Amino acid sequence: MKWNNRYAFIVGAILFVAVVTYLFSDIVTYVLIAWVLAMITQPVYRFILARLHLAHRSWGSNVAALLTMLALLLVIVMLGLMLVPPILTQAANLANVDIYAVIGRLEEPFLAFQQWLGKMGINYEEGLGRQSITNTLQRYFPFTRIGDWVSSILGAASGFLFGLFAVAFILFFFLREDRLFINFLIALTPREYESQMESTVTETTQLLRRYFAGILLQITCITIIVFTGLSIFGIKNALLIGFFAALINVIPYLGPLIGAIFGILLTASTYIDLPFYPDLFGLLVRVAAVFAVMQLTDNMLLQPLIFSKSVRAHPLEIFLVILLGGKLGGILGMVLAIPSYIVIRVFARVFLSEFKIVQKIGGGNEKVD
């Protein structure tokens, strides 16, 4: 009977989460964003609480939460002041870019590549010509629609401001009351499973905190690497390219490729008046070299550091999870695949530890240090 009750609880919990997410997707999104921000900024909150000796004062938690949110806002404002002006300027420039002119500047090495294929006895399809490349670039990098995107973003500012207020309001209480989210979930859990639920949420929070902190470290390091490398070579818009590459790198596997292509195309459009050989070609090679160094650093240092301390899973396991996330939810599914897998993995290990497959995949009774 106990097993039946447990399975009924698991199925009911899954259905409850699915229904609530479907009916109140915007509210669930606000809560999850606030929870993630609370996990990331919790160390700052505790530092302020201890440093200013606020722990034993009745209003201390409120002040510490407000100061933490102020520090977060300050970081966001500084990033905005550094990035928004060049982004808007470059967006206006890209909206007026003649994509055919960019392709024309790159046509010379493309024709040389075709001739090399012919010498090697390799026949290329006619569909690989200039028009095909133009159509492909316009499909994945529609520069002419950037102005429309900017207008749409500005038009959605009111909804964004309301969402920002909602997230800030929820974040304040998540910071002030560290166990508020845990207590809410426990209140929805049958009494006989309260200890398991608390263990699940506590361990999941610790793992996700490490994961998102690692993602922030990864974004910071990639931005610095690309910005420094491009600045050394005198490439314009180095900060914009570096930050975009760092953000898009969050998308597994496809992100680094998109970031490199964006950097190369942006450089080609910026220096479109230069002769291709040797000036423009040399700049593009330098950009590609910077992205190659960044990718090696990310693959050999940053990603193992992040995944080993949070996911604790085999690389093939991670790859399959990301593929499944992409199949179910596209790019957004790929981004959310690993955090979701962390939650599912811990939940299965706590509630379904008797199954052999859970013991193998979930790491048995392994706990977070």
Phi, psi at 150, each rounded to 5° = -60, -45
Q: Are 178 and 35 in contact (CB under 8 A)?
A: no
State the pLDDT at residue 222: 92
Rounded alpha-carbon distances, angstroms, from residue 174 to 32, 185, 367 = 11, 13, 24
Q: Delimit the domains of the chain by residue range.
A: 192-259+270-369
Closest of 47, 34, 340 to residue 181, by C-alpha: 34
Question: The dihedral of CA 124, 130, 131, 137: what is its sign?
Answer: positive
The tens digit of pLDDT for each residue in 218-259 reads 898 999 999 999 999 888 888 888 888 998 888 887 888 888
Q: Which residues of the chain have pLDDT under 50?
A: 1-2, 126-128, 364-366, 369
Total-model pTM: 0.70
3-state DSSP: the chain helix, strand, coil percent, rounded to 5?
A: 85, 0, 15
CA distance 306 to 218: 8
Instruction: Please give the angle made by the CA atoms of 281, 283 and 285, to the nearest 5 degrees.
Output: 70
